[in-house]
A and B are shown apart, each in its own frame.
Chain A
Amino acid sequence: MSVEKLKEKHRLLAQFQYIPGKVEKGYANRTLYVNLSENRIAEKPVSQEMKEKFIGGRGFGLKLLWDGVTGNTKWDDPENEIIIAPGPIAGITQYPGAGKSYVVSLSPLTHTVIDSNVGGYFGSLLKFSGFDALEIQGKAEQDVIVFIDGVNGTVAIEEASQAVVNSHILVEQLTEMYAANEEDKVNVSVVSTGAAAEHTLIGMLNFSFYDKRRKAVRIKQAGRGGIGTVFRNKKIKALVVRGPRIKGDLNHPADKTLLDKAGIKLHKEIATLDNSQNKMRIGGTTYLTKIMNDYDILPVNNFKFGSHPAANNIASDAFIKYFNLTGHDGCWYGCTLSCAKAINAFELKTGPYKGQKVLVDGPEYETVAGVGSVCGIFDPEYIIENNFYCDTYGIDTISFGTIMAFLMECYENGIINKEITGGLELNFGNGEAAMEVLHQMARGEGFGKIAGLGVRRLKKLFVEEYGADPAFLEDIGMEVKGLEYSIYLPKESLAQQGGYGLTNKGPQHDEAWLIFMDMVNNQIPTFEDKAEALHYFPMFRTWFSLNGLCKLPWNDIVPANNRTTAEPAKIPEHVQNYVDLFNGVTGMNITKEDLITQSERVYNFQRVFNLRMGFGTREHDQVPYRSMGPVTVEEYESRQERYDKQLKEKVGFDPEGKTTEEKIAVLRKYREDQYQKLCDAVYKRRGWTENAVPKLETLERLGMDFPEVVEVVKKYL
């Protein structure tokens, strides 16, 4: 069907008119509210207090969601919301990595609040269309598209039952449909998911942008926490924004010279140093695979091991040969770090699009290791194909990989068998079977539908239905809070075990990545050092999410003299850049210390939000033993020399003549005890009780002692 015919089939359910207005110092000063149950569209003002306390991005998302739901709201209740917000710095073109959107919702995986970040143009175009956030509540009766026309000042809910659901087709169609002409395509961005988001709990969202050089629509993913599942549960097919033409001053920054200076300085750094540092411009984040393998932290076979002889097959070179036009792969204007790689005309070998040549966005490191090494698969073409289908079906590659790896270990241990999997031989390394599970997820049938429940629910199911040993599944099921682990092996870094466990949303590395500081460079040896790092870095990284920024240009490129600074891990010069960007846009005058305080406010609020939903205490910060140490004899013996040495030197236990089982037990006791001590130290540093609850004095210090927040916390004090 032609695009014109498809458009004719859209039926207008509601329309709202507004005056697009002007962004001032990074803020549009209003948010857009869309209720799909009532077909109601409205705008809400943004108060000064909201800006001071919540800044923007994830902060605005959390604030709006808090107001929209209660402690009893379930993820699939109509009152659950999806909020997309960019943040005050988002949309500047001068500094790399300034086009991120943050998405907040109640997660079907964790049953509490989730946030996920994503590139693409949607957030910035939304703001320049007049809104600091888009808040969607309710459920539509039929599939709908929400279209925000920031040029003409209209918002419409359109019924669109005929539109396809899979993203790679839908984003092309909608970009064509809603752009005024070819030149206008860069001003259109689409949010969509895919067929598998309807049948699993690990659905994600694709955010599009038009790639002028490739003349194709590209997609970036808000992967974590199942927000795509919420999206389809609300019967949303797509959100479309059409914004104004982008210029360098659409944020009307208070002092643009600060942005110009910081940006040009970083562009120069990238131009001169990227090639000798991470070669992001050539290979994106795929450079990480080799490093992780070299340091024994590349998850292999469900996080049993940290390296594999075949890992070279999926190192960056294996993908660079597929990437084309690599010099300008920014997911927003001005990102010269250019990590958003793409593969043109990849011929698919499986599934409904078999034989077609498609454009594949990525793969990035997390996908390479997630659908690859952690499942014992070292075939680049499998990884590319899986990446494509995960994207178009709306599946988070990280959760998919970690789930498959768990299933493979269960299969190899006889917990599940061919009868249960519907004939699939789910041994580690079987890419063909894993692909079939993915296609089943999209079709909503067979074992794929079961796999899509996620590791937490699978553990329960296997215990209840198949008599599996619950203790073993708790040890090897790589999830915390219901969210699957992202793809780094934290066994040998206590700080990173905390970096995953002591998070608000679950084990995702965007809060803290401390493995090198801790394990490789030994820069944070004491509990207090680790606690300080687990305070500072999560707060610092949270700040990106408040402002619409990407983390990568902070430390995936560093100034030539960074090593000689007082605190190289913080990249002090880049921290100052961020202070300048914030002050340059908003006209405020914050310091680098204020930056941390801004994050603390939102971070503590999010912790209280977890408490409000019935989670958030110490027990929810506990991690599976697989992330702390060797669960099985096979694991221990694969690194016996390392573990024996630790028993001798750290535990004071002589391993000589002991069985592996005895040694595992002693090491486990030691490591579990270390983790509890870490929890104590971190909670203390964060101003929380031993039960991980923010103290009243902490909330007061931060000015976050709103009555309804205090009411929640008091129940736990």
Chain B
Amino acid sequence: MNLAQKSVICLLALATLPCLAQTAASPAQASPAPNHPKPPAPLPPSPFNRTTILLDPAHGGADSGSRISDTLLEKDITLSLAFKLRSLLAARGFTVVMTRDSDAATQADTPTPLTLDDRAGIANRAHPAACLLLHATAAGRGVHLYRSELDPIPYEVNETPWLTAQAAWVTQSQNLQKQLGMALTRAHVPLVFSRASVRPVDSFACPALVVELAPKGSDNSTLTDDGYQQQVARAIAAALVFWQNQAQPPQRLPAVQTPASAPETGAQP
């Protein structure tokens, strides 16, 4: 084979390369891949203050909550427990945000009473490491810990519906529930933990629990016992010290998504 023939063969080989490339690409063009939308890039996580705790002493003002006895109202017990918790948490270096620190829960500088949604708004603006909704009851014994009934979702979607804001945080709330449960068990406080649909917990964008204080035994007056409240508050404060390093805010996704990539909504319609 002389040089001229070799040159012709090389030129032909070079000329066929684009054709081969086109042939290799053609099957993909003939049967295009399913149109899987590219998952949206996650957004920067929401601000998360690991040293901030929100306490929501439930009820207040005209809303007295449950009537434990003729002279004992739920709103007074929740406020008393919140004060004890605030002191213990502040001593451990936490910043404590309270939805009310007097009998009536009112909006700033106005006598307008706080709605349940206002309380959730205060919590969501503070971006705390934990939100504790404090309640009290004469039924049962010890402390009842409840997390939201919403089904968990793995991502926090930007522009989350108000009534299901907690869905992305349910897993964190569950971990916080375990942490508090262990601390209360170590403190020899009878414990019940479960799930409940109590407004406004489903609208909280933070690890959130309903903490319901019940009598220590069969005597309802133990609800006002300083020693009992202090015992419970100490256990909770100790658990939150560990919790502040374990809490992880969920990943955030942009709001505009295709149905295929959108995470499932919570149980609440």
State whether these chains interact: no
